[in-house]
């Protein structure tokens, strides 16, 4: 992709991060054209390096997919000289810092937002915390499943009466990284208008609360504690996966008109006009009587036949695909979502953005531990964009 099409060209970001949240933020920024310098512990590096098998070139595939496009330096915070070198790097080159280290670690070494911004007011500092900056849980360490548990996400995931289930991807971590990027981009816009840098803060817990916007609003309105509905949802019926004769199909009849179309396609015409099911509000109340009738009708079809039938009727639907099927799916291929880095054969997923029809992609492989330590030894004394 042409350099001119990468909107963050010329921006330098230092990533003091590990695991998923801060590295995913750094990945987004790298794809958008920023220079991202990842800082790791020289002894063990990012925990994600060991998250396997599977491994690729002796490093976990999880690390590769989250850290391509970055440079890498190692810093031993207990070494005053190395801390000074990191501080010099930030002050001389960085437009922004993203960090998700444990609370209090950086303050031990004078590498805080306040200390660095006192010397460089233009610096944008992005904190990705665990449970937020105040409150009774503020000092508690946090991970994605802890936030899914404590913000109620797991309470509305899975099926009622069965053991708790977490969302199978790092929804909270990746969402927190996205919020950090949104805050950073907003701060860059403000800085272009003459404002100083600022401290951007988000956390796993806050991200979990944001994802719970609809269920929490439902509780505020009714006092009802929503239960999990498997592949369905509390507010819309029918809006879930149904089992065909040879597999599962997700059917999303999200309004009354689509419900009527679904009934017509399945030969359930009487249901469409039954007052107990004619409106979504009625269907939500009477889901226990409605769903078995749809389930029985769906089982008469193969997944492929039912999908074609519903497509012709204009009812939104999709088969439930496995990871292998998604990787090979022609829609995945058509959208050019995969990335092959330079001199590397593993296919990774890029960010879901396009500019003028082109995908921004950072194509250098995930770095080796300390691969670019020369940056620390000879930091370029260049002015950053809008530095003050």
Residue 147 φ/ψ, nearest 5 degrees: -70, -35
- Tell me whether residue 311 is one of the annotated catalytic residues: no
Distance CA 320, CA 303 (A): 10
CA distances (Å), origin 235, targets 92, 158, 166, 240, 281: 52, 16, 20, 11, 8
Distance CA 91, CA 384 (A): 9
Sheet architecture: strand order including 239-243: 239-243, 248-252, 317-319
Q: Which helix (H) or strand (E) holds 55?
A: strand 55-56
Distance CA 370, CA 39 (A): 8
Q: Any residues with CB less than 8 A from the CB of 321 and at least 6 apart, and which?
A: 329
Candidates 5, 127, 173, 311; catalytic one: 173
Contact (Cβ atoms closer than 8 angstroms) between residue 386 and residue 87: no
Distance CA 101, CA 258 (A): 48
Contact (Cβ atoms closer than 8 angstroms) between residue 303 and residue 248: yes
Residue 270 φ/ψ, nearest 5 degrees: -65, -30
Distance CA 388, CA 304 (A): 61
CA dihedral 323, 328, 333, 336 (to 10 degrees): 50
Measured at the CA of 200, the angle between CA 199 and CA 201, to 5 degrees, comes to: 115
DSSP-assigned letter for residue 68: T
How far separated are the first and last CA of the chain, in Å rounded? 32
- Nearest Cα neighbor of 71 from 36, 43, 46 is 36
**Which residues are catalytically annotated?**
173
């Amino acid at each position: 992709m042409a350099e001119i099409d990468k909107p963050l060209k010329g921006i330098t970001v230092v990533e003091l991060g590990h695991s998923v949240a801060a590295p995913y933020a750094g990945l987004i920024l790298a794809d958008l054209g920023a220079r991202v310098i990842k800082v790791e512990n020289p002894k063990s590096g990012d925990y994600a390096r060991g998250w396997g098998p599977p491994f690729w070139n002796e490093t976990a595939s999880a690390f590769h997919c989250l850290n391509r496009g970055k440079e890498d330096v190692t810093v031993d915070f207990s070494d005053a000289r190395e801390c000074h070198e990191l501080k010099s790097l930030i002050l001389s080159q960085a437009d922004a810092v993203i960090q998700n280290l444990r609370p209090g670690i950086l303050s031990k070494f004078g590498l805080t937002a306040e200390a660095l911004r006192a010397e460089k007011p233009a610096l944008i500092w992005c904190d990705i915390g665990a449970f937020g900056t105040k409150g009774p849980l503020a000092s508690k360490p946090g991970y994605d499943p802890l936030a899914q548990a404590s913000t109620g996400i797991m309470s509305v995931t899975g099926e009622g009466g069965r053991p708790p289930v977490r969302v199978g991807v790092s929804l909270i971590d990746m969402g927190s990284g996205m919020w950090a990027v949104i805050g950073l981009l907003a701060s860059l816009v403000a800085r272009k208008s003459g404002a100083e840098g600022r401290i951007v803060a988000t956390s796993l817990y806050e991200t979990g609360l944001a994802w719970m916007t609809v269920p929490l609003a439902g509780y505020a309105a009714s006092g009802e504690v929503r239960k999990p509905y498997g592949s369905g949802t509390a507010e819309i019926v029918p809006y879930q996966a149904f089992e065909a004769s040879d597999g599962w199909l997700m059917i999303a009849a999200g309004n009354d008109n689509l419900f009527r179309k679904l009934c017509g396609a399945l030969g359930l015409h009487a249901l469409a006009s039954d007052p107990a099911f004619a409106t979504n509000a009625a269907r939500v109340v009477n889901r226990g009587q409605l769903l078995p009738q749809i389930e029985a009708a769906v089982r008469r079809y193969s997944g492929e036949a039912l999908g074609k039938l519903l497509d012709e009727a204009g009812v939104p639907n999709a088969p439930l695909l496995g990871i292998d099927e998604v990787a090979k799916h022609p829609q995945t291929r058509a959208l050019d979502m995969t990335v092959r880095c330079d001199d590397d054969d593993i296919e990774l997923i890029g960010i879901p953005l396009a500019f003028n029809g082109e995908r921004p992609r950072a194509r250098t492989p995930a770095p080796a531990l300390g691969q670019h330590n020369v940056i620390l030894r000879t930091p370029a004394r260049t002015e950053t964009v809008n530095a003050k």
